[in-house]
Amino acid sequence: MAVELWQQRLRQSITTVDELVQRFGIDPEPLREVTARYPLKITPGYFDLIGEIGDPIWRQCIPDVRELETGGYADPLAEAHYAPVPAIIHRYPDRVILLASNNCAGYCRFCTRKRKVGSSDHAVSFREQREGIDYIAGDSGIRDVILSGGDPLILPDTVLEDLLARIHAIPHVEIIRIGSRVPVTLPERITTSLCHILRKCAPLYLNTHFNHPLELTPDSVAACALLADQGIVLGNQTVLLRGVNDDVATMTELLRGLLKIRVRPYYLHQMDLVEGTAHFRTPLQTGLDIIRSLRGPVSGMACPHFVVDLPGGKGKAPLLPDGISYRDGKTLIITSNGKQVEYPDVTAG
Ligand SMILES: *Cc1c(COP(=O)(O)O)cnc(C)c1O
Ligand code: SF4
């Protein structure tokens, strides 16, 4: 079978520290230990986005010695505990994550599944995937299947088409979601034939993963346009990252930019307590302050939910900067933008 353009690009990815030395002249030695533990992979397109050492693109994809610091959890969300079969994470009654692949177009240094991505020990076998599909077919309470990984769109068209068709054929599955960063890291992957495959499984939601306005390139914008034109509903999940997007101006530019290309911001994630990612983590207050600053100045359509995934598999909790309290049982005190406002609750009492 002919090798597609995106597959060629993927094969040209940067995977060694020596390639970083060639372009940036950095000292390779400290990084070798890091990549021995957590593999390095950057697509040529994403690599070209790096402007200078330490910039927001660099931080997301270039190994850092701080990844070797201990502390945090290998599996903070206790996903292993919620895996009835190896390819499934079933934490909420009506929806499951199906791990479609443990590979990605590139490896993000802050990844929550850092311990797994790109490691052959955690590859999802064909048999495990079939077991996962059987599990979904056997539980009529599951209405929402989220393909994740790794990155499901790294699979070749034929494999992906077969996988999606099997899930789509299960009568109680109402919607399919795909979580994928390829519109950002490998936009060439979004081809017309891929869109046709996705279209056949409507309603299908694709949540992508932009973290910084520099990632809104002509190629990634075109990839999103192609998907949206084909009727794929697009959302975005951003991870709040120290030194990358943890300020109001950057976040505002990102969120407005997404809305302009028909990608609806869905979640802003507090960095999970994953081992080897502490240098990316911001205090919870940072996220709360950003959300508070967005409300009002920025279109509500552009404002994501700020969520923290609670350790031990307790689930996602939305965090709001402000709250509500009662005065005399009838009047609500709503705190908004740091100010207390009275609101007559006419239905109370
Ligand atoms: C985040 C997550 C989901 C999806 O949650 P939504 O809030 O519906 O987007 C499902 N399963 C697991 C295990 C999750 O972590
Ligand atoms: S694309 Fe997603 S799963 Fe893959 S390394 Fe990045 S954050 Fe992790």
pLDDT in tens, 281-299: 999 999 999 999 999 999 9
Strand pairing partners for 268?
238, 306
Establish whether residue 89 lines the binding site of ligand 1, counting it when its CB lies within 6 angstroms of any ligand atom: yes
**Nearest ligand (C-alpha, residue 98):** 1
Of 108, 195, 201, 224, which is the active-site residue? 108
pLDDT of residue 6: 98
Establish whether residue 181 lines the binding site of ligand 2, counting it when its CB lies within 6 angstroms of any ligand atom: yes
pLDDT of residue 313: 81
pLDDT in tens, 188-221: 999 999 999 999 999 999 999 999 999 999 999 9
Q: What are phi and psi of 268, to 5 degrees?
A: -110, 115
Predicted confidence band at 339 (pLDDT cuts at 50, 70, 90)?
confident
What mean pLDDT comes out for the span 23-32? 96
More confident residue, 12 or 126: 12
pLDDT greater than 80 at residue 337: no
pLDDT greater than 90 at residue 235: yes
What mean pLDDT comes out for the span 29-58? 97
- Asked if 110 contacts 76 with a C-beta cutoff of 8 angstroms, the reply is no
CA-nearest residue for atom 8, ligand 2, is 111
**Nearest ligand (C-alpha, residue 78):** 1
Strand pairing partners for 267?
237, 305
Establish whether residue 272 lines the binding site of ligand 2, counting it when its CB lies within 6 angstroms of any ligand atom: no
Predicted confidence band at 77 (pLDDT cuts at 50, 70, 90)?
confident
Tell me whether residue 144 is one of the annotated catalytic residues: no
* H/E element, 327: strand 324-327
The whole model's pTM is what? 0.95
Rounded Cα–Cα distance for residues 259 and 234 (Å):
10
pLDDT of residue 347: 62
Establish whether residue 97 lines the binding site of ligand 1, counting it when its CB lies within 6 angstroms of any ligand atom: yes
pLDDT in tens, 311-335: 888 889 999 888 777 777 777 788 7
Of 41, 59, 64, 104, which is the active-site residue? 104
- Of 120-124, 130-134, 143-147, 203-207, give the lowest mean pLDDT range: 120-124
More confident residue, 240 or 79: 240
Strand pairing partners for 301?
none
The token duo for 10 is 């993927």
Strand pairing partners for 34?
none
Rounded Cα–Cα distance for residues 125 and 306 (Å):
34
- Of 40-44, 283-287, 344-348, give the lowest mean pLDDT range: 344-348
SS3 assignment, position 272: coil
